[in-house]
Each structure stands twice: as C-alpha cells, then as structure tokens.
C-alpha cells in the first residue's frame, strides 16, 4: 500500500484539511493500517490529522490513546529496516 492509498482508505477518519500520513515506508504503512483497523473498531470517535517525522522521530496527531505506542513502534520500524536477501 502506498501513502496515497493509505490516506484514501482512512480519509473518513482524517480531520478536514489535514494531509494524513507522510511517512513513505511500506512497513510503517502496513503497521498503521492494521492498527487503524483495530482502533476504528473500538473507538467510534477516532480521528487523526498528521503522521510524520519531526526532529528525527515520528509524530502522530490523533485522539487515540494508542498514540505513544504507535510512535514508539514506528520509530523502531524506521531504525531497523528489513534485511534484503
């Protein structure tokens, strides 16, 4: 999934005028897609506006209580890219 596809899929949960996800890493995108699916099922008021890297670490602007966990996991994913065969 690309950033564009992710943002289109989760558009209804994105605040109006916000750009959404801006981290072009397929592992991050896949991780967030799975997490957003779970969050949208348990939190009827879920929304997000931006997901980006700022000052070397990820930042997620959301009302989810999972925010810190997501940021920590994204940082780990970006620090440990998968090994190529």
> Residue 23 domain-assigned?
yes
> Residue 85 domain-assigned?
no
The model's pTM is: 0.89
> Residue 84 domain-assigned?
no
- List Cα–Cα distances, 39 to 24, 46, 52, in angstroms: 21, 7, 19
Q: Which residues contact 40 (CB under 8 A, 6 or more apart)?
A: 13, 46
Number of structural domains found in the chain: 1
The residue segments making up the domain with residue 44 are 3-79
* Mean pLDDT of all residues in 2-14: 96
Cα–Cα–Cα angle for 76, 63, 12, nearest 5°? Answer: 100
pLDDT of residue 64: 97
pLDDT of residue 80: 80
């Amino acid at each position: 999934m690309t950033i564009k596809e992710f943002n289109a899929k989760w558009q209804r949960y994105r605040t109006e005028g916000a750009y959404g996800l801006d981290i072009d890493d397929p592992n991050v995108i896949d991780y967030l897609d799975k997490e957003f699916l779970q969050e949208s099922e348990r939190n009827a008021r879920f929304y997000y506006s931006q997901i980006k890297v700022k000052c070397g670490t990820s930042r997620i602007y959301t009302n989810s209580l999972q925010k810190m966990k997501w940021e920590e996991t994204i940082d780990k994913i970006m620090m440990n890219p998968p090994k190529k065969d």
